[in-house]
Structure 1
């Protein structure tokens, strides 16, 4: 998903056309490298040889090999045309030849194509049609269930239809909207741990929420909380899920804008120490922008218990650094090189001191070695740590329960807004 958002940002800023393509019966195109046999299909049995089996010459839907063979067939053809795989994302193929730049992003049987040379793209599409049952759907409008609306100053990504269907399936189309996706912690102290009567419904709704966060980072923290209890949900967990549904009801038209401006990466990282009362693990959250556009965010419970708030923040800073280094590499492959160090905003001075200064080793020797690579990237000039006040920390919305005024303030800074705004 970050690759899709970055590709949209690239096409918008370079004023390139972004085409959406689809292949009919994609899995039937795959070539089989192994001998595979199947029973005679119903209605096509040979009465003289009812025990004979069929040897497959081409791939079929239902074969475990089918997706891989289709991907190999398509990418093999594109490599013959001069494309190469991106080192950052294996679903992205790149052509850089004679000042022609074309990018193809593949997702199963659908893909996006953009580039700086329309005649070259037209020739490529003609070659693709000669090999596959290609359907050209025009400019991007609906990709992977995400509506991409063209506005006066860019794109607007939303999942209004998906959110409406989710509310309808849950029976909450006429519910009362809530101002925030989570209730205040004071209301959660009297937790009802009675097992919820229908865990299947809870799991289905909670799982569906995860897909909605593709364009709604304001839902990410609350969704992370409800998904932690899918194995054994309680009545209290279902109340939290209902609260999230009520918030969605009041923000159906909300989504993520992509606009034109500078293309410098910057990131915000935060952690909430020992926030989970059941196991005392901390929550990490970070979000990364390119210019004004939010392209990547993460909410995740840390895998081990942090011994201090500084350690929790340091682990979150390490995770954000990993994401930033990957995004810098991806941006470079898309001809959006980051000439300056990427600024990572952190509101914990102790965590920043540990990242910059090796003399703090005695305080951090219990932390796994893989978290200590931050210092390398600071030294190489890839990243730069900058302190900001907790009041200005945008990533707070990804790690904490917030009051409605604070939540609305940070949601606005994440650029999440209504399509009617």
Structure 2
């Protein structure tokens, strides 16, 4: 649902004055100003005032606010649950009972002027297709739009977003390209990474060179890859298990300019990808072990532990969360405090990981390098490995291929090796 003129529903607590607007001037007091009682579009207090009004209404209606996500509200009635997620004036809601959902829609319409949009199909540029087999989230329309915007609609398709032979440096002798257009391309692609983890590393790599872009920086190759794969999106099958796990990897000294490492992480709920990142580390790592520790710490602190707390708002409780990594020597350092004397240069990372390992929050589990899902977020891969990770492991599929595979082979066909 969408709230019509949401901000004027909020009451402003601070003293805010506005100039007399055209058509509402006072003939008696032409030099005076208006004092606002309710919010308007423009003042910085308006979003906070609207949220306070909506929150107060939901709490009075029996909802409970999430402890971690303050825009999440839950209502339990009998054996049924209603979930409400707020994004400014757009509200997504759903529940286990049609009666509970309908009652909430009526209740909101009485309190606020609303537009009921029906089943969720399009939200913030994301296209959502729901079916009994599962949910497919993609940005096919947005992909076609940016291809046409940057006149890449007729370009020759590519099978990967980045070549393994790409020179990972500034390339000062290369041919310069239009900086404004390059930055526009990067900005458009960054939003697309919301449903396309397969281009995450390539986009983040090109983003580093916005100050001095060259033709060798493969931003146009990414668009040519999107031409080949515009219908891809994330598939979430119905009835999958809700186990939380993470993957973390690091490409030691991968940047040729400053020799900083690149960390890649991804998190799965069941067998389906829900969060991912690719970023260059802030400092130079003197060893592979240190680079791995930094990546593991980021994955544990900023993702896994946060997701564990967030999912508790939904009533999901997790014990020890496995973090799958491919450095057995670094795992040994965490599990064996005798080796700590050799790792003083990574003292803080060591203590953070070991602390949560001893508490039982995180469990470091070794995984073979060829099965390391985070590999796709740390460096360019050759076609075979790239497609294997993209499709079978990360579930970046087309709507047609995912549903056909499910119908032909049953739910087991969409389970990865992680659940075996």
Are 2:227 and 1:249 equivalent residues in the alignment? yes
SS at match of 1:331: helix
Contact 1:314-1:352 within 8 A present in 2 as well: no
Q: Which runs of 5+ in 2 are unaligned?
A: 402-420
Listed as ranges, the gaps of 5+ residues in structure 1 are: 1-20
- Which of 45, 52, 76 aligns to 2:32? It is 52
2:99 paired with 1:119 = yes
Match of 2:52 in 1: 72
Asked if structure 1 preserves the Cα contact closer than 8 Å seen for 2:297 and 2:353, the reply is: yes
1:404 aligns with 383
Which of 382, 389, 414 is the equivalent residue of 2:361? Answer: 382
Name the CA distance, whole Å, in 1 between partners of 2:67 and 2:212.
41
Shift of 1:247: 0.8
Indicate which of 332, 336, 343 corresponds to 2:312. 332
2:84–2:93 contact (8 Å) kept in structure 1: yes
Partner in structure 2 of residue 108 of structure 1: 88
CA deviations on 1:333-391 (whole Å, 9 max, x unpaired) are 212323x5222110011221222222232233233626632223322333322111111
For residues 42 and 397 of structure 2, the distance between their equivalents in structure 1, rounded to whole angstroms, comes to 41
Given that residues 162 and 202 in structure 2 are in contact (C-alpha distance below 8 angstroms), is that contact kept between their aligned partners in structure 1?
yes
| TM-score, scaled relative to structure 2 | 0.89
Out of 119, 139, 142, the position equivalent to 1:159 is: 139
Of structures 1 and 2, the one with the larger relative CO (CA 8 A, separation 6+) is: 1
- What SS does structure 2 have at the residue aligned with 1:298? strand
Shift of 1:143: 1.4
Contact preservation (8 Å) 1:195, 1:233: no
| Aligned pair partner of 2:17 in 14, 33, 37 | 37
Instruction: Give the structure 2 partner of residue 137 of structure 1.
Output: 117
User: What is the CA distance between 1:275 and its match in structure 2?
Assistant: 1.0
Q: Deviations over 1:102-153 (max 9, x none)?
A: 2211111112112233323332222211221122211111111111112451
Q: Name the TM-score, length of structure 1 as normaliser.
A: 0.89
2:159 is paired with a residue whose SS is coil
1:387, 1:197 → 2: CA distance?
Answer: 44
What does residue range 187-206 of structure 1 map to in structure 2 within 5 Å?
A: 191-192=171-172, 196-206=176-186
Distance 2:329 2:357 in 1: 16
SS at match of 1:140: coil
Deviations 1:240-296 (A, max 9, x none): 111111111111000000012211112211011111112211111111111121111
> How far apart are the structure 2 equivalents of 1:84 and 1:193?
59
2-structure distance, mates of 1:74, 1:187: 52
**Correspondent of 1:353 among 332, 340, 355:** 332
**Structure 2 equivalent of residue 343 of structure 1:** 322
**Which digits, 9 at most, give the CA deviation of each residue in 1:35-94, with x for residues without a partner?**
211112234434554432222221111111111111111111111112222122222112
